[in-house]
Amino acid sequence: MKLKVIGGIVVLLSVLIAACQSDADQEFKRYYTGGAAIYKQKCQNCHGNNGEGLTSLIPPLTDTTFLKKNKNYLACIVRNGINERVLTINSKAYEGPMPANTDLAPIQIAKVLTFVTNSFGNKQGVITVDVVEKDLEGCQ
Ligand code: HEC
């Protein structure tokens, strides 16, 4: 009898854990696939099919270190563009400006950043719309 109860609890827990995981998986998939479409439309021309960038004009999106270090600044880059006099990535300097994307809503920025930070060799997990909204408040 006791064993049955314990068995029941184990089964119940496994079901609950599986349900939670698939919720998280689904959220990730939703962000990632939406982001892939936005990337194609808004970013791919410059940053390339595989995030490889373009010579010394456009920086690559394959540099996990830069993307991790600037995780909470990425939303500002996408929304407002960036024109650092010299942006150094993988010890290479890039000087061209990136244009702003003022037409992208926070949810679209969250999706495209989830795509970028989980493609091209990156694996950072979901960047949610809540995080993006908070990050955007800190843009200078
Ligand atoms: C017109 C070309 C162009 C488009 C379109 C563009 N970028 Fe950029 N992007 C650049 C350039 C140039 C830089 C470097 C700017 C600098 O040196 O100050 C840059 C820098 C970046 C950076 C920081 C550096 C790095 O390589 O990690 C990120 C992240 C980024 N872009 C993401 C995006 C995303 C996401 C989109 C689409 C929403 C996008 N860009 C659209 C040209 C572009």
Mean pLDDT of 104-129: 97
Q: Measured in angstroms, how far is the CA atom of residue 130 from the centroid of ligand 1?
A: 22
List pLDDT tens digits, range 28-72: 999 999 999 999 999 999 999 999 999 888 999 998 899 999 999
The mean of the pLDDT values for the chain is 91
- What's the CA gap between 53 and 8, in Å, rounded? 54
- What's the CA gap between 5 and 102, in Å, rounded? 57
8: confidence class by pLDDT, cuts 50, 70, 90: confident
1: confidence class by pLDDT, cuts 50, 70, 90: low
Atom number, ligand 1, closest to the C-alpha of residue 38: 38
Q: Measured in angstroms, how far is the CA atom of residue 9 from the centroid of ligand 1?
A: 50
HSE, CB side, 13 Å, CA atoms: give it for residue 15.
Answer: 6
Query: Residue 23: is its pLDDT beyond 90?
Result: no
Contacts of 97 (CB under 8 A, 6+ apart): 81, 82, 83
Which residue in 135, 130, 133 sits closest to 27, CA to CA?
130
Ligand 1 pocket by C-beta < 6 Å: which residues? 42-43, 45-47, 58-61, 66-67, 74, 77-78, 82-84, 87, 89, 94-99, 101, 112, 116
- What's the CA gap between 121 and 102, in Å, rounded? 28
